[in-house]
């Protein structure tokens, strides 16, 4: 009887402890939600960081014929903040309207520019949809079709490359520059956690071609059509897909005298990881820095969730995640996109997968010239990762770090909103690199 009484007592205490812990989680989340509502800066398109940032992302492409100010402002005026369906409907409507307008334009340059804008609006429309949303496949196909129609109408030279990758395949697009570009370094470029291969045209390809550079872009596991059509998730050993792309490219193209690998956002890790093992690259550009993806994920995760993970309260973590997701569209999107592109099912699995994307054990193998970009107010990557990465580059031929503050206009993640700012520094670095 005494043993039964003790068991009942322990069971009751466990229930009380569990209940108290859940209440504590709710209070922690309520405080988080309250803090998220405070201190909203002026000059934002939306209070929510993700909605604001993705709008800025569209503005960023105006310089490369990928958007127009009036079209963006009109579109976001119809969006209910935090409502993914509203976001999709508004951007798709604008994309459809511009696409139809392009179909009737006689002038090939104006027609091509309209197709490219439609592409960007379709890409933006898809962004917040759930991975399993039935609208995603058609939305992605529309953006790729509009993009290629735009390139064709503008008579932009490009070559689509199919890359064997075990039982899968990867995709690449090569953009040859003008006459004489074969004598300059080849720029190879890869996107990050949520970007597409086509988007890279606006990020850098157009500007690089204008300056006489050939550019090779590609999409690997976890990205673009690879995750959508083949369900192949990210792989932290990024040298494998990168080497497959480079091998395939060099079977039909002469090896350039020099090659520079540029990684965007999470691509800052992907490109750096590749450079540690793929010695055919002479230069590396982390745009922006991404030294440790796991630390980035932990930085966005409520501290109580990390404590619960440490003590293996995985069920309570999922309760915590669901509640915070209801407060924060940014957090909700990050959780869903992470599980989709990393091939995980739970928050614990996702965090474990993200922690594998760290340069701490391989940075000393990077022996190329390295350029690191960073935004002083990056909402995604802690600025401390700049020093972490720089200190680890003990064998790099050279290291240059450029950090942009708010006054410069480039303080955002990947300097969105200031493409000419960071490109000026990039091409100056390229000129010196070329002359070495």
pLDDT per residue as tens digits for the range 390-435: 999 999 999 999 999 999 999 999 999 999 999 999 999 999 999 8
pLDDT for the residue numbered 258: 97
pLDDT per residue as tens digits for the range 163-207: 999 999 999 999 999 999 999 999 999 999 999 999 999 999 999
pLDDT per residue as tens digits for the range 306-333: 766 676 667 777 777 777 777 777 788 8
Specify if 319 maps to a domain: no
The answer to whether residue 42 scores a pLDDT higher than 70 is no
CATH number for the domain including 434?
A: 3.40.50.1820
Specify if 373 maps to a domain: yes
Specify if 432 maps to a domain: yes
Specify if 434 maps to a domain: yes
Specify if 212 maps to a domain: yes
**Residue 375 CB coordination number (10 Å):** 25
Whether residue 273 contacts residue 239, with contact meaning beta carbons closer than 8 Å, is answered with yes
The answer to whether residue 41 scores a pLDDT higher than 50 is no
Q: How many domains does the chain have?
A: 1
Structure tokens at 13: 């205490």
* Alpha-carbon gap, residue 6 to 135, rounded angstroms: 56
Least confident range from 140-149, 284-293, 328-337: namely 328-337
Q: Is the dihedral of CA 57, 378, 292, 276 positive or negative?
A: positive
DSSP 3-state of 288 = coil
CA–chain centroid gap for 375, Å, is 15
Specify if 82 maps to a domain: no
Domain that holds residue 265: 157-292+359-436
pLDDT for the residue numbered 335: 87
Q: How confident is the model at residue 302 (pLDDT cuts 50, 70, 90)?
A: low
What's the whole-number mean pLDDT along residues 341-366?
94
- Please report which helix (H) or strand (E) contains residue 21, including its range: helix 2-37
Q: What percent of the chain has pLDDT over 70?
A: 87
What's the whole-number mean pLDDT along residues 82-102?
96
Which residues 6+ apart lie within 8 Å of 284 measured at CB?
260, 261, 263, 271, 272, 275, 366, 368, 369, 370, 371
* Alpha-carbon gap, residue 287 to 284, rounded angstroms: 10
Q: How do strand 215-219 and strand 168-175 relate by DSSP bridges?
A: antiparallel
Specify if 287 maps to a domain: yes
CA angle 178/189/384 to nearest 5° reads 135
pLDDT for the residue numbered 91: 98
Specify if 270 maps to a domain: yes
pTM for the full model?
0.88
* Alpha-carbon gap, residue 55 to 148, rounded angstroms: 23
Which residues 6+ apart lie within 8 Å of 13 measured at CB?
none
For 304-430, strand residue ranges (E) read 369-375, 398-404
The answer to whether residue 25 scores a pLDDT higher than 70 is no
Q: Which of 276, 273, 263 is nearest to 238 (CA)?
A: 273
């Amino acid at each position: 009887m005494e043993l039964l009484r003790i068991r009942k007592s322990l069971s009751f205490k466990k229930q009380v402890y569990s209940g108290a812990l859940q209440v504590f989680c709710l209070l922690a989340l309520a405080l988080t939600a309250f803090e998220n509502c405070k201190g909203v800066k002026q000059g934002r398109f939306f209070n929510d960081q993700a909605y604001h940032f993705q709008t800025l992302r569209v503005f960023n492409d105006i310089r490369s014929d990928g958007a127009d100010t009036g079209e963006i402002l009109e579109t976001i005026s119809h969006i209910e903040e935090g409502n993914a369906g509203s976001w999709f409907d508004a951007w798709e409507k604008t994309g459809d309207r511009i696409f139809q307008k392009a179909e009737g334009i006689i002038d090939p340059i104006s027609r091509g520019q309209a197709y490219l804008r439609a592409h960007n609006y379709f890409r933006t429309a898809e962004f917040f949809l759930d991975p399993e949303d039935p609208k995603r496949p058609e939305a992605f196909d529309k953006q790729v079709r509009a993009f290629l129609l735009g390139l064709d109408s503008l008579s932009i030279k490009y070559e689509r490359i199919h890359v064997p990758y075990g039982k899968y395949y990867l995709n690449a697009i090569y953009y040859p520059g003008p006459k004489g570009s074969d004598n300059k370094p080849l720029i190879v470029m890869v996107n990050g956690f949520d970007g597409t291969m086509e988007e890279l045209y606006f990020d850098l390809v157009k500007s690089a071609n204008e300056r006489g550079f050939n550019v090779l872009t590609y999409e690997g596991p976890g990205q673009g059509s690879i995750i959508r059509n083949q369900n192949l998730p990210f792989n932290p050993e990024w040298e494998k897909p990168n080497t497959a792309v480079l091998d395939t490219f060099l079977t039909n193209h002469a090896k350039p005298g020099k090659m520079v690998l540029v990684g965007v956002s999470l691509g800052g890790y992907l490109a750096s990881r590749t450079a540690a093992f793929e010695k055919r690259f002479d230069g590396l550009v982390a745009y922006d820095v991404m030294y440790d993806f796991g630390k980035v994920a932990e930085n966005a995760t409520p501290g109580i969730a990390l404590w619960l993970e440490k003590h293996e309260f995985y069920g309570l973590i999922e309760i915590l995640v669901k509640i915070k997701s209801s407060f924060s569209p940014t957090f909700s999107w990050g959780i869903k996109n992470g599980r989709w592109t990393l091939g995980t099912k739970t928050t614990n699995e996702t965090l474990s997968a993200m922690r594998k994307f760290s340069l701490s054990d391989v940075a000393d193998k990077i022996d190329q010239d390295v350029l690191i970009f960073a935004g002083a107010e990056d909402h995604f990557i802690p600025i401390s990762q700049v020093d972490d990465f720089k200190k680890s580059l003990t064998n790099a031929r050279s290291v240059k770090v450029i950090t942009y503050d708010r006054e410069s206009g480039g303080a955002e993640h990947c300097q969105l909103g200031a493409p000419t700012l960071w490109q000026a520094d990039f091409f100056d670095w390229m000129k010196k690199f070329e002359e070495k």
